[in-house]
Structure 1
Amino acid sequence: MPVLTRPVVAAGTVARNPQPALPTGDGLLLRPWRAEDASAIHAAFQDPVILQWHIKSADSEEEVAGWIEEWHTMWREERGAQWAVVDEDTDELRGRVALREMLLGEGVAEVAYWTVARARGQGVAARSTTAVTRWAFEEVGLHRLELFHSTANPASCRVAAKTGFALEGTKRSALQHPDGWHDMHFHARLRSD
Protein backbone atom coordinates (compact mmCIF):
# COMPACT_ATOMS: atom_id res chain seq x y z
CA MET A 1 0.00 0.00 0.00
CA PRO A 2 1.51 3.37 -0.96
CA VAL A 3 2.30 5.86 1.77
CA LEU A 4 0.64 9.21 1.16
CA THR A 5 3.18 11.36 3.04
CA ARG A 6 6.88 11.92 2.62
CA PRO A 7 9.30 11.04 5.43
CA VAL A 8 9.85 13.93 7.81
CA VAL A 9 13.55 13.02 7.98
CA ALA A 10 15.12 10.93 5.24
CA ALA A 11 16.76 7.64 6.10
CA GLY A 12 20.51 8.07 6.39
CA THR A 13 20.33 11.60 7.79
CA VAL A 14 21.67 10.52 11.18
CA ALA A 15 23.91 7.55 10.38
CA ARG A 16 25.79 9.13 7.49
CA ASN A 17 27.82 11.13 10.02
CA PRO A 18 29.63 10.13 13.20
CA GLN A 19 27.66 10.87 16.36
CA PRO A 20 28.52 14.46 17.32
CA ALA A 21 29.69 15.88 20.61
CA LEU A 22 27.29 18.62 21.72
CA PRO A 23 28.50 21.35 24.10
CA THR A 24 25.84 22.90 26.30
CA GLY A 25 27.70 26.23 26.33
CA ASP A 26 27.88 26.25 30.12
CA GLY A 27 30.44 23.65 31.13
CA LEU A 28 28.86 20.37 30.07
CA LEU A 29 29.57 18.27 27.00
CA LEU A 30 27.35 15.59 25.51
CA ARG A 31 29.67 13.06 23.88
CA PRO A 32 29.27 9.57 22.48
CA TRP A 33 29.79 6.79 24.99
CA ARG A 34 33.18 5.06 25.03
CA ALA A 35 34.02 1.51 26.08
CA GLU A 36 36.00 2.89 29.02
CA ASP A 37 32.80 4.51 30.39
CA ALA A 38 31.45 1.11 31.48
CA SER A 39 32.78 1.39 35.04
CA ALA A 40 31.27 4.87 35.54
CA ILE A 41 27.87 3.72 34.22
CA HIS A 42 28.00 0.63 36.42
CA ALA A 43 28.79 2.81 39.44
CA ALA A 44 25.92 5.18 38.58
CA PHE A 45 23.49 2.26 38.46
CA GLN A 46 24.34 1.30 42.04
CA ASP A 47 22.50 4.47 43.11
CA PRO A 48 19.06 3.64 44.58
CA VAL A 49 17.57 6.80 43.03
CA ILE A 50 18.50 5.72 39.50
CA LEU A 51 17.19 2.23 40.21
CA GLN A 52 13.94 3.69 41.55
CA TRP A 53 13.09 5.34 38.21
CA HIS A 54 14.55 2.83 35.75
CA ILE A 55 13.38 -0.62 34.90
CA LYS A 56 16.78 -2.28 34.59
CA SER A 57 19.86 -2.62 36.73
CA ALA A 58 23.53 -3.06 35.87
CA ASP A 59 24.90 -6.24 37.37
CA SER A 60 28.42 -5.93 35.97
CA GLU A 61 30.74 -3.75 33.94
CA GLU A 62 30.66 -6.43 31.25
CA GLU A 63 26.89 -6.06 30.99
CA VAL A 64 27.25 -2.28 30.69
CA ALA A 65 29.89 -2.73 27.98
CA GLY A 66 27.16 -4.55 26.02
CA TRP A 67 24.85 -1.57 26.49
CA ILE A 68 27.49 0.75 25.05
CA GLU A 69 27.90 -1.51 22.01
CA GLU A 70 24.10 -1.55 21.56
CA TRP A 71 23.97 2.26 21.82
CA HIS A 72 26.52 2.49 18.99
CA THR A 73 24.43 0.04 16.95
CA MET A 74 21.33 2.13 17.60
CA TRP A 75 23.11 5.15 16.11
CA ARG A 76 24.18 3.22 13.00
CA GLU A 77 20.64 1.86 12.58
CA GLU A 78 19.09 5.29 13.32
CA ARG A 79 16.94 3.88 16.12
CA GLY A 80 18.33 6.12 18.85
CA ALA A 81 21.18 8.25 20.11
CA GLN A 82 22.75 8.07 23.56
CA TRP A 83 25.21 10.58 25.00
CA ALA A 84 27.39 10.67 28.08
CA VAL A 85 26.95 14.02 29.81
CA VAL A 86 30.36 14.97 31.14
CA ASP A 87 32.13 17.94 32.66
CA GLU A 88 33.65 19.76 29.70
CA ASP A 89 37.00 20.27 31.46
CA THR A 90 37.48 17.02 33.41
CA ASP A 91 35.39 14.52 31.38
CA GLU A 92 33.84 13.35 34.68
CA LEU A 93 30.47 11.67 34.13
CA ARG A 94 27.48 13.80 35.20
CA GLY A 95 24.69 11.82 33.55
CA ARG A 96 23.14 10.57 30.36
CA VAL A 97 20.75 12.00 27.80
CA ALA A 98 19.22 10.07 24.93
CA LEU A 99 16.87 10.09 22.02
CA ARG A 100 15.10 6.76 22.25
CA GLU A 101 12.55 5.20 19.94
CA MET A 102 13.72 7.45 17.12
CA LEU A 103 11.41 7.24 14.10
CA LEU A 104 12.95 9.46 11.44
CA GLY A 105 10.21 8.97 8.88
CA GLU A 106 7.63 10.14 11.40
CA GLY A 107 9.92 12.84 12.78
CA VAL A 108 9.54 11.66 16.39
CA ALA A 109 11.83 10.56 19.21
CA GLU A 110 11.63 10.17 22.98
CA VAL A 111 13.99 12.10 25.27
CA ALA A 112 15.37 10.26 28.31
CA TYR A 113 17.95 11.21 30.92
CA TRP A 114 19.50 10.40 34.27
CA THR A 115 21.97 12.22 36.50
CA VAL A 116 24.63 10.77 38.79
CA ALA A 117 24.06 11.42 42.49
CA ARG A 118 26.88 13.96 42.95
CA ALA A 119 25.58 16.08 40.04
CA ARG A 120 21.94 16.36 41.10
CA GLY A 121 20.51 19.79 41.76
CA GLN A 122 22.93 21.44 39.31
CA GLY A 123 20.65 21.57 36.28
CA VAL A 124 22.50 18.78 34.46
CA ALA A 125 19.37 17.06 33.13
CA ALA A 126 17.79 20.32 31.96
CA ARG A 127 20.97 21.63 30.35
CA SER A 128 21.65 18.38 28.51
CA THR A 129 17.99 18.02 27.46
CA THR A 130 18.10 21.55 26.04
CA ALA A 131 21.24 20.72 24.03
CA VAL A 132 19.90 17.46 22.62
CA THR A 133 16.54 19.08 21.82
CA ARG A 134 18.27 21.86 19.88
CA TRP A 135 20.31 19.27 17.93
CA ALA A 136 17.25 17.09 17.20
CA PHE A 137 15.22 19.99 15.84
CA GLU A 138 17.88 22.13 14.17
CA GLU A 139 20.38 19.57 12.89
CA VAL A 140 18.28 16.44 12.32
CA GLY A 141 14.95 18.08 11.52
CA LEU A 142 12.70 16.07 13.85
CA HIS A 143 9.18 17.42 14.27
CA ARG A 144 8.23 16.21 17.77
CA LEU A 145 10.06 15.07 20.90
CA GLU A 146 8.28 13.20 23.67
CA LEU A 147 9.25 12.76 27.30
CA PHE A 148 7.74 10.32 29.81
CA HIS A 149 8.29 10.07 33.55
CA SER A 150 6.56 8.59 36.56
CA THR A 151 4.06 10.94 38.17
CA ALA A 152 5.84 10.08 41.43
CA ASN A 153 9.03 11.72 40.11
CA PRO A 154 8.56 15.50 40.51
CA ALA A 155 12.22 16.20 39.67
CA SER A 156 11.69 14.84 36.15
CA CYS A 157 8.52 16.86 35.82
CA ARG A 158 10.50 20.02 36.67
CA VAL A 159 13.10 19.16 34.01
CA ALA A 160 10.37 18.68 31.40
CA ALA A 161 8.71 22.00 32.27
CA LYS A 162 12.00 23.91 32.44
CA THR A 163 13.00 22.67 28.97
CA GLY A 164 9.71 23.56 27.29
CA PHE A 165 8.07 20.12 27.16
CA ALA A 166 4.35 20.72 27.63
CA LEU A 167 2.40 18.29 29.77
CA GLU A 168 -0.08 16.59 27.46
CA GLY A 169 -1.58 14.09 29.85
CA THR A 170 -1.22 11.12 32.14
CA LYS A 171 -0.96 7.53 30.99
CA ARG A 172 -2.53 5.53 33.80
CA SER A 173 -0.66 2.48 35.11
CA ALA A 174 1.58 2.65 32.05
CA LEU A 175 4.97 1.36 33.20
CA GLN A 176 5.94 -1.22 35.74
CA HIS A 177 8.76 -0.19 38.08
CA PRO A 178 10.32 -2.42 40.75
CA ASP A 179 7.73 -1.14 43.27
CA GLY A 180 4.72 -1.69 40.99
CA TRP A 181 2.79 0.05 38.23
CA HIS A 182 3.28 3.79 37.81
CA ASP A 183 1.14 6.39 36.12
CA MET A 184 3.30 8.28 33.63
CA HIS A 185 3.24 11.94 32.71
CA PHE A 186 3.38 12.45 28.97
CA HIS A 187 5.17 15.64 27.83
CA ALA A 188 6.04 16.79 24.32
CA ARG A 189 7.75 19.58 22.49
CA LEU A 190 7.36 20.50 18.83
CA ARG A 191 9.99 22.06 16.61
CA SER A 192 7.59 24.98 16.17
CA ASP A 193 7.34 25.63 19.94
Structure 2
Amino acid sequence: MLVLAAGAALLLAAAGRHWVTGQLEAPGPVAPAPVELTGTDLTGALSGIGWAGLAGIAGLYAARNRARRAIGLLVAVGGAAALGAVWDATRPDTLLAAVSENTTAAAGSAQVAAAPQLSAPGPAMAVAGAVLLVAAGLFAVVRAPAWPGMGTRYDRDAAPRATRAETSSDLWKSLDAGDDPTLDAPGGAASGDAAETSGDGTEHASLAARPAEPKENP
Protein backbone atom coordinates (compact mmCIF):
# COMPACT_ATOMS: atom_id res chain seq x y z
CA MET A 1 0.00 0.00 0.00
CA LEU A 2 2.86 2.38 0.78
CA VAL A 3 4.49 1.66 -2.59
CA LEU A 4 1.19 2.25 -4.36
CA ALA A 5 0.65 5.52 -2.51
CA ALA A 6 4.19 6.67 -3.29
CA GLY A 7 3.79 5.88 -6.99
CA ALA A 8 0.49 7.74 -7.25
CA ALA A 9 1.90 10.74 -5.37
CA LEU A 10 4.91 10.89 -7.69
CA LEU A 11 2.68 10.90 -10.75
CA LEU A 12 0.53 13.71 -9.36
CA ALA A 13 3.57 15.75 -8.36
CA ALA A 14 5.28 15.20 -11.71
CA ALA A 15 2.20 16.33 -13.62
CA GLY A 16 2.46 19.80 -12.06
CA ARG A 17 6.20 20.25 -12.49
CA HIS A 18 7.96 22.15 -15.26
CA TRP A 19 8.96 19.78 -18.07
CA VAL A 20 10.00 21.80 -21.11
CA THR A 21 11.16 25.31 -22.00
CA GLY A 22 10.84 26.79 -25.47
CA GLN A 23 11.89 30.07 -27.10
CA LEU A 24 9.50 32.09 -29.24
CA GLU A 25 10.62 34.81 -31.62
CA ALA A 26 8.35 37.38 -33.23
CA PRO A 27 8.97 39.51 -36.35
CA GLY A 28 10.77 42.74 -35.65
CA PRO A 29 13.27 43.80 -33.01
CA VAL A 30 11.76 41.73 -30.21
CA ALA A 31 13.76 39.47 -27.93
CA PRO A 32 12.76 35.79 -27.87
CA ALA A 33 10.25 35.02 -25.14
CA PRO A 34 10.57 31.85 -23.04
CA VAL A 35 7.65 29.47 -22.79
CA GLU A 36 7.41 26.84 -20.05
CA LEU A 37 5.12 23.81 -20.10
CA THR A 38 4.24 21.39 -17.33
CA GLY A 39 3.55 17.69 -17.49
CA THR A 40 -0.19 18.35 -17.60
CA ASP A 41 0.32 20.61 -20.64
CA LEU A 42 2.02 17.74 -22.44
CA THR A 43 -0.26 14.90 -21.35
CA GLY A 44 -3.27 14.71 -19.07
CA ALA A 45 -2.90 10.98 -18.46
CA LEU A 46 -0.53 11.31 -15.52
CA SER A 47 -2.99 13.07 -13.22
CA GLY A 48 -5.80 10.66 -14.04
CA ILE A 49 -3.63 7.61 -13.44
CA GLY A 50 -2.31 9.10 -10.21
CA TRP A 51 -5.80 9.60 -8.80
CA ALA A 52 -6.79 6.13 -9.97
CA GLY A 53 -3.80 4.72 -8.10
CA LEU A 54 -4.92 6.38 -4.88
CA ALA A 55 -8.42 4.98 -5.39
CA GLY A 56 -6.87 1.54 -5.88
CA ILE A 57 -5.62 1.63 -2.27
CA ALA A 58 -9.17 1.75 -0.95
CA GLY A 59 -10.22 -0.88 -3.47
CA LEU A 60 -7.55 -3.32 -2.35
CA TYR A 61 -8.57 -2.87 1.27
CA ALA A 62 -12.29 -3.37 0.60
CA ALA A 63 -12.16 -6.14 -2.03
CA ARG A 64 -11.35 -9.81 -1.58
CA ASN A 65 -9.78 -12.66 -3.54
CA ARG A 66 -10.38 -12.28 -7.31
CA ALA A 67 -11.57 -8.72 -7.02
CA ARG A 68 -8.25 -7.79 -5.42
CA ARG A 69 -6.39 -9.44 -8.27
CA ALA A 70 -8.46 -7.52 -10.79
CA ILE A 71 -7.73 -4.22 -9.02
CA GLY A 72 -4.02 -5.05 -8.87
CA LEU A 73 -4.02 -5.83 -12.59
CA LEU A 74 -5.72 -2.52 -13.35
CA VAL A 75 -3.12 -0.68 -11.26
CA ALA A 76 -0.29 -2.39 -13.15
CA VAL A 77 -1.89 -1.56 -16.50
CA GLY A 78 -2.27 2.05 -15.38
CA GLY A 79 1.43 2.21 -14.50
CA ALA A 80 2.35 0.82 -17.92
CA ALA A 81 0.07 3.38 -19.58
CA ALA A 82 1.81 6.15 -17.60
CA LEU A 83 5.18 4.95 -18.89
CA GLY A 84 3.87 5.10 -22.44
CA ALA A 85 2.48 8.58 -21.86
CA VAL A 86 5.84 9.84 -20.56
CA TRP A 87 7.70 8.36 -23.53
CA ASP A 88 5.26 9.90 -26.01
CA ALA A 89 5.28 13.31 -24.29
CA THR A 90 9.08 13.61 -24.25
CA ARG A 91 9.74 12.94 -27.94
CA PRO A 92 11.31 15.93 -29.76
CA ASP A 93 8.50 16.28 -32.30
CA THR A 94 5.89 16.11 -29.53
CA LEU A 95 7.68 18.81 -27.53
CA LEU A 96 7.93 21.08 -30.58
CA ALA A 97 4.26 20.63 -31.41
CA ALA A 98 3.23 21.23 -27.81
CA VAL A 99 5.17 24.50 -27.58
CA SER A 100 3.70 25.69 -30.87
CA GLU A 101 0.12 24.74 -29.99
CA ASN A 102 0.21 26.28 -26.51
CA THR A 103 1.66 29.61 -27.64
CA THR A 104 0.19 30.33 -31.07
CA ALA A 105 -2.99 31.90 -29.76
CA ALA A 106 -1.16 34.13 -27.27
CA ALA A 107 1.82 35.12 -29.39
CA GLY A 108 0.06 35.70 -32.71
CA SER A 109 2.63 35.31 -35.49
CA ALA A 110 5.46 34.19 -33.21
CA GLN A 111 7.39 31.05 -34.07
CA VAL A 112 9.53 28.63 -32.12
CA ALA A 113 13.08 29.92 -32.25
CA ALA A 114 14.89 26.70 -31.31
CA ALA A 115 14.30 23.15 -30.22
CA PRO A 116 12.57 23.02 -26.82
CA GLN A 117 14.74 22.06 -23.87
CA LEU A 118 13.52 19.17 -21.73
CA SER A 119 13.89 19.35 -17.95
CA ALA A 120 14.77 15.94 -16.50
CA PRO A 121 13.28 16.01 -12.95
CA GLY A 122 9.65 16.05 -14.05
CA PRO A 123 9.82 13.08 -16.44
CA ALA A 124 12.07 11.20 -14.01
CA MET A 125 9.51 11.54 -11.23
CA ALA A 126 6.77 10.35 -13.58
CA VAL A 127 8.79 7.31 -14.65
CA ALA A 128 9.56 6.42 -11.04
CA GLY A 129 5.89 6.71 -10.08
CA ALA A 130 4.80 4.59 -13.03
CA VAL A 131 7.32 1.87 -12.18
CA LEU A 132 6.09 1.80 -8.58
CA LEU A 133 2.50 1.40 -9.76
CA VAL A 134 3.47 -1.51 -12.01
CA ALA A 135 5.40 -3.20 -9.18
CA ALA A 136 2.61 -2.69 -6.63
CA GLY A 137 -0.04 -3.90 -9.06
CA LEU A 138 1.83 -7.08 -10.00
CA PHE A 139 2.58 -7.80 -6.34
CA ALA A 140 -1.13 -7.44 -5.54
CA VAL A 141 -2.04 -9.85 -8.34
CA VAL A 142 0.26 -12.52 -6.88
CA ARG A 143 -0.18 -12.01 -3.13
CA ALA A 144 -3.53 -10.26 -2.61
CA PRO A 145 -5.62 -13.44 -2.04
CA ALA A 146 -3.47 -14.25 1.01
CA TRP A 147 -3.99 -10.85 2.63
CA PRO A 148 -6.53 -10.53 5.46
CA GLY A 149 -9.84 -8.98 4.46
CA MET A 150 -12.11 -6.51 6.18
CA GLY A 151 -14.29 -7.90 8.95
CA THR A 152 -17.90 -8.95 8.38
CA ARG A 153 -19.14 -6.98 11.36
CA TYR A 154 -21.09 -4.54 9.21
CA ASP A 155 -22.14 -6.96 6.48
CA ARG A 156 -25.88 -7.20 5.92
CA ASP A 157 -25.83 -11.00 6.06
CA ALA A 158 -23.78 -11.16 9.27
CA ALA A 159 -25.91 -12.85 11.93
CA PRO A 160 -25.75 -11.39 15.43
CA ARG A 161 -24.01 -13.52 18.02
CA ALA A 162 -25.54 -14.46 21.32
CA THR A 163 -23.58 -13.36 24.37
CA ARG A 164 -24.30 -13.22 28.07
CA ALA A 165 -23.20 -10.04 29.84
CA GLU A 166 -22.24 -10.61 33.46
CA THR A 167 -21.60 -6.95 34.31
CA SER A 168 -22.60 -3.61 32.87
CA SER A 169 -19.13 -3.17 31.36
CA ASP A 170 -19.46 -6.55 29.61
CA LEU A 171 -22.78 -5.38 28.20
CA TRP A 172 -21.25 -2.26 26.69
CA LYS A 173 -18.32 -4.26 25.29
CA SER A 174 -20.70 -6.71 23.61
CA LEU A 175 -22.66 -3.85 22.08
CA ASP A 176 -19.48 -2.29 20.75
CA ALA A 177 -18.50 -5.66 19.22
CA GLY A 178 -21.83 -5.92 17.40
CA ASP A 179 -23.24 -8.73 19.55
CA ASP A 180 -26.87 -9.01 20.62
CA PRO A 181 -27.00 -9.62 24.38
CA THR A 182 -30.77 -10.22 24.28
CA LEU A 183 -30.71 -13.42 22.23
CA ASP A 184 -30.03 -15.68 25.20
CA ALA A 185 -31.34 -13.37 27.93
CA PRO A 186 -33.36 -15.14 30.66
CA GLY A 187 -37.09 -14.72 30.17
CA GLY A 188 -36.52 -13.45 26.60
CA ALA A 189 -38.15 -14.59 23.42
CA ALA A 190 -36.03 -17.74 23.34
CA SER A 191 -37.44 -19.00 26.66
CA GLY A 192 -40.97 -19.08 25.23
CA ASP A 193 -44.23 -17.80 26.54
CA ALA A 194 -45.27 -20.92 28.42
CA ALA A 195 -46.12 -18.99 31.57
CA GLU A 196 -47.13 -15.51 32.53
CA THR A 197 -46.55 -13.90 35.90
CA SER A 198 -48.98 -11.46 37.42
CA GLY A 199 -48.09 -8.54 39.60
CA ASP A 200 -48.50 -10.54 42.83
CA GLY A 201 -46.00 -13.20 41.71
CA THR A 202 -48.61 -15.86 40.80
CA GLU A 203 -47.87 -17.69 37.57
CA HIS A 204 -50.71 -18.20 35.11
CA ALA A 205 -50.78 -20.32 32.01
CA SER A 206 -50.40 -18.42 28.81
CA LEU A 207 -53.35 -17.91 26.53
CA ALA A 208 -52.01 -20.43 24.05
CA ALA A 209 -51.63 -23.11 26.77
CA ARG A 210 -55.05 -22.67 28.42
CA PRO A 211 -57.70 -25.25 27.48
CA ALA A 212 -60.85 -24.03 25.83
CA GLU A 213 -63.68 -23.55 28.34
CA PRO A 214 -67.15 -24.72 27.36
CA LYS A 215 -69.88 -22.13 27.08
CA GLU A 216 -72.54 -22.02 29.78
CA ASN A 217 -75.93 -23.42 28.84
CA PRO A 218 -78.86 -21.12 29.23
Q: TM-score, normalised by structure 2?
A: 0.22
Higher strand share: 1
Higher alpha-carbon Rg? 2
TM (norm. structure 1) is 0.24
